[in-house]
Amino acid sequence: MHIHILGICGTFMGGIAQLAVASGHRVTGCDANVYPPMSDQLRQAGIELIEGFDQEQLALNPDIFVIGNAVSRGNPLLEAVLDKGLPYVSGPQWLAENVLQGRWVLGVAGTHGKTTTSSMLAWILEDANMSPGFLIGGVPLNFGVSARLGDTPFFVIEADEYDTAFCDKRSKFVHYHPRTVILNNLEFDHADIFADLAAIETQFHHLIRTLPQSGLIVANAEEASLGRVLSRGCWTPVEHFNDSAGYRMTGDDTTGELILHGPGGEIGRCIWQLSGAHNRANACAALLAARHVGVPFDKGLEALANFSNVKRRMEVRGMVDGITVYDDFAHHPTAIATTVDGLRRKVGDARILAVLEPRSNTMKLGTMKSQLPDSLSAADATFCYAGQLGWDAREALAPMGERACVHDDIAGLVSAIVDAAHPGDHILVMSNGGFAGIHNLLLERLGK
């Protein structure tokens, strides 16, 4: 089958493209911005890439067009496909019908932690010689790729609640029909498509309705929102983590010790590379999900001892004159607070300079701008890029006083950070995009 993918350079659609090639299909694709690193991955997989969405691409005559959710009505190629009555399908539906059908799908859902938890879970199964397939919205450093077909029934997928496509406004995860599902947490997000938290809870309820009685739900006991979702109807066994009387994880960020507790007391422990209560919770959820497919807790802990995290999750990009520059994907206020707190626990009293790009659709709308000062309270100074915002970042961060600095251009932002940095500082860059390559710009300027 020849498939042509519209919006191929996003992490999710690029992953589908690589899975399709591995399944024996011919794949071509197009996007408005064809650039590394995804463009390099796709070309290495033998995929022909086209810049833009011109109607001439109809001449490729694929068997089906796969439409990414970033492609909207008015897109010239999409409009031509519709006008001609040509066959098309959303990315999640194509994935479900052509890759996930008949497999034991392990889905990881939640507002935060999906990528890290999916990566942990895939690695635990890999370490147990179960050779899972996976599709993850980031690059697990243990694997070096974001998607793999795998050669066993097991498939780990990051189960996103964002909508499916222009033609299907349900959440992506309703297509996946997992047998094992992790519900990490549930907060309001994606203000561009959801009116409120209740609307997102309804989508999670739709996911729960698809799970078999022989499956397993691994749910965060501390999340009242998930409790409300489960109370609307649940036909699948539930195991909780973050449960003070049940499964939970404790540890020491200084020594790297990780301790798993269960209803009967301590189960086991290991030393690992990650830090923060959020990552310990992610690990506990991954261990419970892995046990459902046959990986004992002791083997899971051994795997976590060798887990190398995910690219762009507290990733050290470089060090110059004792100043360390990190890259992190955090963009929701809760994720920002968790990330800064995790670094604070790691570096103690050393100064943290937080660098923020409010780039997600929710942040661009200003829906959560009032939460930013509190989310950044553990940082010694904050530098915010406001070049693409429709709201006043200076006003929003005013409660932070002199600890906040806002710039409308990257050059001015870089200069302000470099002028403020001293040996021993930790510069934490947080964005869900490329942030104009600010990490390298900072390292180059610091080096001078």
- Residues whose CB is less than 8 angstroms from the CB of residue 336 and which lie 6 or more positions away in sequence, other chains included: 330, 354, 356, 372, 375, 376, 430
pLDDT for position 190: 67
CATH code at position 249: 3.40.1190.10
Domain boundary among 273, 304, 335: 304
Residues 161 and 202 grouped into a single domain:
yes
Place of tokens 């540890």: 251
The verdict on residue 294 lying in a domain is yes
Q: Quote the pTM value.
A: 0.83
- Which residue segment(s) compose the domain that 403 sits in? 315-447
Final residue of a structural domain among 44, 66, 91: 91
Domains in the chain, number: 3
- β pairing state of 257-262 and 265-271: antiparallel
| Domain stops at, among 304, 332, 355 | 304
* Best CA proximity match to 67, nearest among 31, 25, 118, 110: 31
Same domain for 142 and 81: no
Render each residue's pLDDT in the chain as its tens digit; 448 residues.
999 999 999 889 999 999 999 999 999 999 997 766 777 888 888 899 999 999 999 999 999 999 999 999 999 999 999 999 999 999 999 999 999 999 999 999 998 889 999 999 999 999 999 999 999 988 899 998 889 999 999 999 999 988 899 999 998 999 999 999 999 988 877 666 777 889 999 999 999 999 999 999 999 999 999 999 999 999 999 999 999 999 999 999 889 999 999 999 999 999 999 988 889 999 999 999 999 999 999 999 999 999 988 877 778 899 998 999 999 888 788 888 888 988 898 888 999 999 999 887 777 777 778 889 999 998 999 999 988 777 888 888 989 998 988 898 999 999 999 999 999 999 999 998 778 789 889 999 888 7
Structural domain includes residue 49 = yes
User: Would 355 be classed as within a structural domain?
Assistant: yes
pLDDT of residue 82: 98
The answer to whether position 231 is within a domain reads: yes
